[in-house]
Amino acid sequence: MSADHTRDPCPIVVLSDFGGAFAMGVIGGCVWHGIKGFRNSPYGERVTGALSVVKTRAPVVGGNFGVWGGLFSAFDCSVKAVRKREDAWNAVIAGFFTGGALAIRGGWRHTRNSAITCACLLGCFEGVGVLMQKVMAQPQQNIYGDAPMSA
């Protein structure tokens, strides 16, 4: 698999992923909690209610996204450095460690279950990615035709 040139080299890409995931989370959280706060507020206070919910909740969503994305990226880089290869398993292993690290305060069982769930989720993503790549790729055509009189 060739290197991905749209992404930055490894140690510094962690910073970018932190910021990107955080920004995604904040913007998504604004939309999500804006709508939720608007619907859950009484008539006459809908806009103020939406605003106050966005102010308190959107940064938290952003933070959660950011920590997840940043940790994942850091683990991804570490796994790449240890394995010295780039394939779909990197993401699965990094997902395993990320899920485990985020749940480590909940006890051994919680850590284990969370790590396995996260690895499975990332495995699904990678699997779908590989499938999409195969579907999108141009079908191989035999441009030379069959070899004439091969007998």
**Residue of 39, 55, 85, 110 that binds another protein (CB under 8 A):** 55
| Sign, CA torsion 31/37/38/40 | positive
What mask, x for binding another protein by CB under 8 A, covers residues 83 to 122?
----------------------x-----------------
Stretch that binds another protein, among 33-41, 52-60, 110-118, 139-147 (CB under 8 A): 52-60
User: Can you read off the two tokens belonging to residue 98?
Assistant: 């990320």
**Residue of 38, 59, 78, 86 that binds another protein (CB under 8 A):** 59
DSSP 8-class letter at 139: P
Would you count residue 63 as binding another protein (CB under 8 A)? Answer: yes
- Nearer Cβ to another protein, position 16 or 78? 16
Would you count residue 37 as binding another protein (CB under 8 A)? Answer: no
Please give the helix or strand (H or E) that residue 75 lies within, else none.
Answer: helix 46-83
How would you classify residue 43: left for phi > 0, otherwise alpha for psi between -120 and 50, otherwise beta? beta
Stretch that binds another protein, among 56-64, 91-99, 109-117, 135-143 (CB under 8 A): 56-64
DSSP string, 111-124: HHHHHHHHHHHHHH
Which value, to the nearest 10 degrees, does the dihedral of the CA atoms of residues 15, 5, 125, 34 take?
50
Enumerate binding residues for another protein (CB under 8 A). 5-6, 12, 14-20, 22-23, 26, 51, 55, 58-60, 62-63, 66-67, 70, 105
